[in-house]
């Protein structure tokens, strides 16, 4: 058996071992994120605990073609409005990306919620929710929240609750309307990587949000009363 053959064999054995270790780490991180948050996620509205505020996580209003409705956006807005109508929450904090001109998730969410009957006074906008981690950190450190309900897609809710808990927040999660698998399979697969990154950011990298800014007080007022929408950070 030649030396070059042994070297090649050793290389492929090492590569295989590293691949197995990586796969095991990804599987373990996903298991931890999902199972450590399971008790805080509700799918039955009748048993969902009431909170003053729901944090609604943002996404694009339209698909990449620029005009067809994004089903993830519609599902989140329908669910958030339902929680408000059913009295499960009294106020909605909509947190999204407003990082470049012409892209404003928070304003899109506010407008969509108002179209669904939620009064403007019951909506506060967070324009710097660039990532899920940023939204959770800002909910605590900018908007002064300690306890709230999180609304986002079923595949995303575990990571959102995990990140919120890493900031010491007392949260429950309620998944938005489920998007068909054939439409959502790409983002569901991508979430495997996102959960792994979240695990690393909390336990190893200690990642900070991009922007905090000055404190903003959320005024929880009766439906129909005029409220103040915070200025953009």
- For 97-101, what is the mean pLDDT? 85
Between CA 159 and CA 193 the distance in angstroms is 11
Domain ranges of the chain: 36-205
CATH number of the domain at 36-205, please?
3.40.50.620
- For 211-227, what is the mean pLDDT? 74
Name the 3-class secondary structure at 129.
Answer: coil
| pLDDT score at 17 | 85
Residues paired with residue 54 on neighbouring β-strands, in sequence order: 92, 149
pLDDT, one tens digit per residue, over 137-174 is 999 999 999 999 999 999 999 999 999 999 999 999 99
| pLDDT score at 12 | 75
pLDDT, one tens digit per residue, over 173-213 is 999 999 999 989 999 999 999 999 999 999 999 999 999 98
Between CA 32 and CA 69 the distance in angstroms is 33
Q: Which residue has the higher pLDDT, 54 or 19?
A: 54
The pTM of this model reads 0.89
The closest alpha carbon to 108, from 119, 118, 98, 122, belongs to 98
Burial of 221 (0-12, 13-18, 19+ CB in 10 A): middle
- For 115-142, what is the mean pLDDT? 97
| pLDDT score at 6 | 56
- For 66-88, what is the mean pLDDT? 96
| pLDDT score at 7 | 60
| pLDDT score at 225 | 44
| pLDDT score at 110 | 98
Angle formed by the axes of helices 181-200 and 71-85, nearest 10°: 80
Between CA 95 and CA 99 the distance in angstroms is 12
| pLDDT score at 224 | 42
Query: Over the chain, what is the mean pLDDT?
Result: 91
């Amino acid at each position: 058996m030649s030396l070059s053959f042994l070297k090649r064999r050793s290389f492929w054995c090492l590569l295989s071992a590293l691949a197995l270790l990586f796969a095991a780490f990804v599987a373990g991180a996903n298991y931890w994120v999902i199972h450590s948050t399971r008790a805080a996620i509700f799918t039955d509205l009748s048993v969902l605990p009431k909170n003053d505020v729901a944090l609604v996580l943002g996404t694009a209003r339209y698909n990449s073609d620029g005009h067809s409705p994004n089903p993830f956006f519609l599902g989140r807005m329908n669910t958030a409005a339902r929680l408000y109508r059913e009295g499960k929450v009294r106020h909605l904090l909509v947190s999204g990306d407003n990082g470049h001109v012409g892209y404003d998730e928070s304003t899109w969410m506010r407008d969509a919620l108002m179209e669904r009957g939620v009064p403007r006074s019951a909506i506060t906008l967070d324009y710097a929710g660039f990532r899920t981690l940023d939204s959770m950190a800002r909910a605590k450190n900018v908007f002064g929240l300690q306890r709230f309900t999180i609304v986002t897609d079923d595949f995303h809710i575990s990571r959102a609750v995990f990140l919120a808990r890493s900031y010491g927040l007392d949260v429950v999660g309620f998944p938005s309307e489920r998007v068909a698998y054939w439409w959502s399979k790409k983002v569901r697969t991508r979430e495997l990587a996102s959960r792994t990154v979240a695990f690393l950011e909390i336990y190893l990298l200690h990642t900070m949000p991009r922007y905090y800014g000055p404190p903003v007080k959320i005024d929880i007022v009766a439906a129909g009363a005029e409220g103040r929408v915070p200025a953009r950070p």
